[in-house]
Chains A and B, each alone.
Chain A
Amino acid sequence: MSQTNTASNGTPSSQDSITEVKPLIEVRNLKKHFPIRRGVLQRQVGAVQAVDGVSFNIIKGETLGLVGESGCGKSTTGRTILQLLSPTDGDVYLNGHSLTEMGRSELRKQRRRMQMIFQDPYSSLNPRMTVGNIIGEPLLIHNIGNAASRRERVQELLKLVGLNPYFINRYPHEFSGGQRQRIGVARALATNPSFIVADEPISALDVSIQAQVVNLLDDLKSELELTYLFIAHDLSMVRYISDRVAVMYLGRIVELSERDEVYDHPLHPYTQALLSAIPIPDPFKEEKRQRIILEGDVPSPANPPTGCRFHPRCGYATDVCRVEDPEFRNLGTENKPHMAACHHAEKFV
């Protein structure tokens, strides 16, 4: 598990660096394993290693994009950071305070400062609650204000996300997908959080609506000084919205650097394949492209391959990849770290 011991994590704030930017979120060797139980006695026979030792920082005011294919553990990472799932191992710090060691009441207080936007705007809003109650619920839970001030705040939030405050008494079914996602955003903003995990916030929306919601998130970020963990599988959107990008594969982060570094000079063969698989809406460019077509499917996280987890699908794999877990190391400079977990990453520098 050489990867898990690496403290340095691809942010300018890592220990040796001169710049003193304190990270808002620090994730240290985070693990989330889901037990597999079988038989009458429900004995544990194995574990789905959904997140298996990830470490990174998120600096105040930045957007960290987390990309990967379904089942790679990106959503579980987001939920575990917010303590919606309790981690199997590792630690998460918010402003230097460990969330994993915190008592329940203290954690509850901290939850005001970190919120989540969910993927599906249809199932994440209670159909029997009015928009006002949905957006106002976090205020009620955290005992903020009185009925009148809460109502005022909800109207303010509706305006903020580009909806008519007049909609306060309507129900979710009266809104389109894009509008519902705006309601979800307003709910996340209700308690004035500083950190937001956006878990595939646009993937359920139509193309013409996606840009509306992405622009909204971008505007809110600068207006309210928010920090995002933006989880998505759409690599073009992630490039658009993120400052730094982390690529996940089978519960591990395999590459992490500044956005343009990752997209223009990918150092991990998986990132390279992922980028080459994105269809470009331009037939002229498509004709000139060489695609890397990955063989096979993503292996099961309940039984990940030995050594480098990507080796069965990797065109560069050698003997060392089959045996030894590659270290997550810096191949960039100290000021501009470019982290990758590949034995052969030098080849691509």
Chain B
Amino acid sequence: MTHLLEVRNLETRFFTEEGIVHAVNGITYTLNEGESLGIVGESGSGKSVGVLSVMGLIPNPPGRVTAGEVIYGGRDLLKLTPSEMRRVRGHEIAMVFQDPMTSLNPVLTIGRQMTEAMELHLSIDHETAMKRAAELLSMVGLPNAADRLNDYPHQFSGGQRQRVGIAMALSCNPSILIADEPTTALDVTIQAQIVDLVKRLKEKIGMAVIWITHDLGVVASLVEKVAVMYSGFIVETAPVHELYQNTSHPYTLGLLESLPKVDAKTKQRLIPIQGLPPDLLKEPRHCPFAPRCRYAVDQCWEENPSLKPVAPEHYSACWRWENARQDARQRMMTIGEVA
């Protein structure tokens, strides 16, 4: 079976005055048509840099994709010329950015910004593009869409701007929509609106979605499979139910344990992940999570584990995944009793 998108051993580095930042350290994943993938990680995990590398949006210098392949439509996107890449970006693969306050140009009207990509990619005239822009805006749930095309970004609220961002990303019928923390800057009720919107659009249009987030909660309701990133590595990947039920990496387990349960009847003390986030300037030789891991043994300090299958479609990069899984199952059982 051929995949819609295949990322193989992608590696991105930033060459700075302080040294080489190992932002993405050889990640591999696939995305099928119409599928949704959640990439979960904390700041500095490489989740955003990973997709920006796919889109060819890494500022060079200081950054560079130093290895790997991104296969889309039979071609390696990393080998395309800038003008070839421009035909893919925004057309076949589109992106929604985190901050709806800064990702729109404040001095151009929404209509002007929305039609730019359409005129470029779909070679349609301005009038047709404006008509389509109005359709798109009403599709993402903006009231009086046609009138609002002449408004500037500051005249929209945060949630509305993110809707504009999504409408703009959808304007050229992309086959992949990449959403980079699109709800992080929004309130929880507005986040629910946007998540709901993307779910409906996905079903309607049938595009594949990559949703990047730090929130294991958002991912649980939205995607089919999940990749958890830490320190530039994918440390665990599985279908969403499998990941939560049979968690097999100490970091994923740690993230779940450090979240309070909103439906918990009794107060169970949170179990934080000890220590500090990793220093990306150091070249990773041992398991990157070992310094913070309660399961770490000598082997973890000697050799960095690669992703290995632990169940069908479920991969974990941990020498002691069986111990982590055992504790995760224990945890699921106690939660079940509490709930």
Residues of A that sit less than 8 Å from B by CB: 69-70, 176, 178-179, 206-212, 214-215, 218, 233, 235-237, 239-240, 260, 263, 273-286, 289, 291, 293-294, 297-298
Contacts and interface: CB of A to CB of B under 8 A. Distances in A.
A285 B190 CA distance: 21
Interface of B: 42-43, 157, 159-160, 187-193, 195-196, 214-221, 240-241, 244-245, 254-265, 267, 269-274, 276-277
B217 A281 contact: yes
A69 B217 CA distance: 18
A207 B259 contact: yes
Nearest to A287: B221
B265 A283 contact: no
A278 B188 contact: yes
B256 A208 contact: no
B255 A279 contact: no
Contact of A240 (B190, B245, B265, B267): B267
Contact of A279 (B218, B260, B270): B218
A274 B215 CA distance: 17
B188 A236 contact: no
A240 B125 CA distance: 56
Contacts, number: 130
A236 B260 contact: yes
A283 B332 CA distance: 13
B273 A211 contact: yes
B277 A176 contact: yes
B277 A206 contact: yes
A218 B267 CA distance: 12
Contacts of B258: 207-208, 210-211
A281 B244 contact: yes
A8 B207 CA distance: 54
A277 B260 contact: no
Contacts of A284: 241, 244-245
Given A285-B220, A293-B189, 15 more contacts: A69-B190, A206-B43, A206-B214, A210-B258, A215-B269, A215-B272, A233-B188, A239-B260, A239-B264, A260-B265, A284-B241, A291-B192, A293-B196, A297-B157, A298-B187
A62 to B, nearest CB: 14
A293 B264 CA distance: 23
